[in-house]
Structure 1
Amino acid sequence: MSATCYGILLATIIFDIKRFSSFQLGWLDLPMLVWCLCPLASSITNGLGLYDGLSSVLDQTVTWGLPYYLGRLYLNNLDGLRKLAIDIFIGGLIYIPLCLFELRMSPQLHRIFYGFHARSAFGQTIRGGGYRPTVFMEHGLMVGAWMMAAALLGVWLWKAGIIKQVWGISVKWLVAALIITTILVKSTGAVILLVLGLCILFFSNRFRTSLLILMAIAAISSHVYLGVSGQFPADQIVAVVSNVFNEERAQSVQFRFENEKLLSEKARERIVFGWGGWGRSRVYDEWGKDISVTDSLWILAFGTKGLVGIISLMASILLPAIAFVLLYPAQMWNHHKVASVAALAVLLVLYMLDCLLNAMINPIYILACGGIAGLVIKQTTISKEIKQLETHIPRYR
């Protein structure tokens, strides 16, 4: 991730240095700015020192800030975001044979090319009497989310008539292959997110309302609020999961919720800026053994960066999606110029939903987030300029 971001920045300096002068800080950039800088306050308030704080700021900026900044620089228009959506779709197509290989041969590509497995816990790749592919990512869940994203974008690009063929093959067959592969990679959460994303897009287009995506954003916010405040109804949700899916899935969800409860109680002891790094936000027994497991991104952000961190993180991802919904009504989401951005905005909400259970950071979503924020800021600026001009134009009968 660092090499990719630094490489693009270096190429911009060498070949396109004037691009930097086009960037203007906007109101949508403030949450990401706070998210990148808040580790400094977390380190200082916990007595970890200035050096630790600056190092944490650099790490967070490379992970989150640079992909967002590059999206703001290069993808801040409808055409740029359309190209990104198409490229994610093609990236998913490239992953299909890799996923099929690992479904049959087990996750070995990372070891073959790099000499080691991406995760030491190889047992997590065994699911449903077979294997769950990891290809070149950190975890099979990350691959599932990636295939879900490509399938979702593929369906909507096909529906809007933006692309008809790729490599001489009709896009409808390629979309079908992506959906099938998303199911085969054995990530239940990814399949649920795909169904939810398609429901949001088709419902919004059919009834010309943004109600579903706004409800999803409200549900995410409510989940985090209840988790932060310690009022999350874990038992009721586990009971529902047990009835809908199976006991194994229910036990997995219960294990996550129990750990989040412990970690949330610990985080509230340093509620503003969190505990900082070095495992200080984790829970230990009387012998100093770590008894907590951090699965979700939201509890990780809350524990290490406090309320400032979790609020700025959520606002960084969700505010651009909300701003897009307000700028482009749902009846425009099927238009060939807007459809790609609409699907990317829905994808950001789905990614934040995924972050309620997992902590799989993929810079492609952050890149899209920066692009949508740049589009909204640019459109807002243009609208203001037009209104200012209209006020100075004399009106004649």
Structure 2
Amino acid sequence: MTDVSPRAPGLPKAAPDGLIAAVLLSFMATAGLFYVNIMPALVSGLQDGLGFTARAAGLVAAMNVYGAAAGAFAAVFVVDRIAWKPAALGLLFALIATDLVSTELTVAPVLMAVRFGHGLIGGFLVGISFAVIARTKAPDRTFGMLLVVQFGLGGVGLLFLPGLVPKFGTPVLFLALAAFSATAALMLPFLSAYPARSRSPEAVAARGLVRWAPLAAALVAVFMFQAANMALSAFVIDLGRAYGLAQPFISATLATANWIGALGSVLVVMIGLRFGRLKPIAYGAVLTVLGALAFLRSDLAWMYVVANIVTSVVWAFVIPYLLGLCAAFDPGGRIATLAGFFSKLGLASGPALGAVLLQETHFPRLVTLAVTGLCLSAAFALVPAQTLDRSS
């Protein structure tokens, strides 16, 4: 199948299951949640540009993602009954408007409320995107491409945005988000229709055979994995500063780690399910715990670099398998959207718990929280992964 279909009327459409479509879908899904990929820059930027405390900045970021979790949950109930393209376009314009409003706000509680609304809109968009991705032939592959886009462009943001905030203020952060949403809106017309799959009597009967206990465990694994990783990621700039590292070194490290981290997603795209899901998730869990523990020796600059690279690569490698694990239980898309809700709930809870636990920048406590969450995630994921591997 070619990557572009010439038979579609009007503008050319990317082949539904081709590489170009995977990239376009990834941009659409990323637009609703791109602030997560520049979260360290956002948290440090609110402190540097507006004088927020670490706790206040962390809570602003957390409210943004809690809104996304609520939006993703709402999408679960309507995602297979709406015209997703017009809805996505309207949501992208709403995101742009909310980001522009955010550039004028300087009070933490007001900004928390507005960013919660922004998250609500973006979460609904991501919920739609996840449902559409679940309608492709290989959702794991597309989820892998999603992480390639997120880590690659996130690295660009982490490289430049922390240095731009002292010059242009915090509005530059929100303008960057608005520009990304505008880019995704321009890409939307080139996507195919991806209609919801009809529920035949056989498909309805098959849903009754779904083993809901393994599915619930997989959803919890997604939540724990995202919460543990984001608890560290949101404050990784502050962590580096606390260990005496210079901001230019920190920014270069984070950007490089994100770019190298994208290789984890590339690996998912390349190998797919060749080795099943159990082995990639299990091996990834071990590596990500070791990477998190390495942050405890950030007084050694090279250990800070290693910790960031390892956690970025493994994060980008494991989360597509966890999301694909959930999507495999229902190709209609609802479970994938529900997985998106649990993912965003974890991404929000990480900065929130981190902000509470920091208490005078107590970073070893933060690392302990992250390692505990990563271990719990692996424990919950093993049974559903083994269940699907056996059934395949």
Query: Normalization by structure 1: what TM-score?
Result: 0.29
Instruction: Indicate the structure (1 or 2) with the bigger Cα radius of gyration.
Output: 1
More helix by share: 2
Query: Normalization by structure 2: what TM-score?
Result: 0.29
